[in-house]
Amino acid sequence: MSEAERDIREIRSRAAPEPVGPYSQAVCHAGLVFASGQIPLDVSSGQLVAGEIEEQARSVIRNLAAVLEAAGSGLERVLKTTLYLTDLSDFPRVNAVYAAHFRGQPRPARTTIQVAALPLGARIEIDAIATLAN
């Protein structure tokens, strides 16, 4: 194993759902956190959160925040997000929830993509890159 590989640290949070595939919730390297996409899974049941897209977006952001906090970061340290939506007509409603959680300046850079499907039938997924706290 090279020195660079040893500098990569896996992040696991019990406050966020277990991955639904062979990947880490996040990895840290060189002062950055690379958080895998979170979908609206309830941590205790492992089931998708029912309800409107706003509730699903809040669930995703809670899960993402838990992973970032486990890494020693937080939503306020996010540099870049990618939002995946199965229906871009949900964009304004998701955007309102997103804006309520990412209030700091500068706000993260962001890409939003409509996709045909997401794991387990989710309507939304968000991943992030953040800095570690000093």
Dist CA 103 CA 118 (whole Å): 27
Task: Enumerate residues 6+ apart whose C-beta is below 8 A from 108.
Answer: 78, 79, 80, 81, 102, 128
pTM to 2 decimals? 0.93
Q: Which of 20, 12, 15 is nearest to 120 (CA)?
A: 20
Start-to-end Cα distance in the chain = 27
Average pLDDT over residues 70-81: 97
pLDDT per residue as tens digits for the range 6-26: 689 999 999 999 998 899 999
Average predicted confidence (pLDDT) for the chain: 94
CATH number of 3-131: 3.30.1330.40
For the cut 80, the answer to whether the pLDDT of residue 1 exceeds it is no
Q: Left (φ > 0), alpha (ψ -120 to 50) or beta: where does 72 sit? A: left
What is the pLDDT confidence band of residue 104, given thresholds at 50, 70 and 90?
Answer: confident
Ordered by start, the domain boundaries in the chain are 3-131
pLDDT of residue 25: 98
Q: What are the Cα distances from residue 9, in Å, to 33, 72, 75?
A: 9, 12, 19
pLDDT of residue 68: 98
Q: Which of 27, 55, 19 is nearest to 40 (CA)?
A: 55
Continuous segment of H or E residues that includes residue 85: strand 78-85
Strand 32-38 relative to strand 9-11: parallel, antiparallel, unpaired?
Answer: unpaired
pLDDT of residue 5: 54
pLDDT of residue 34: 98
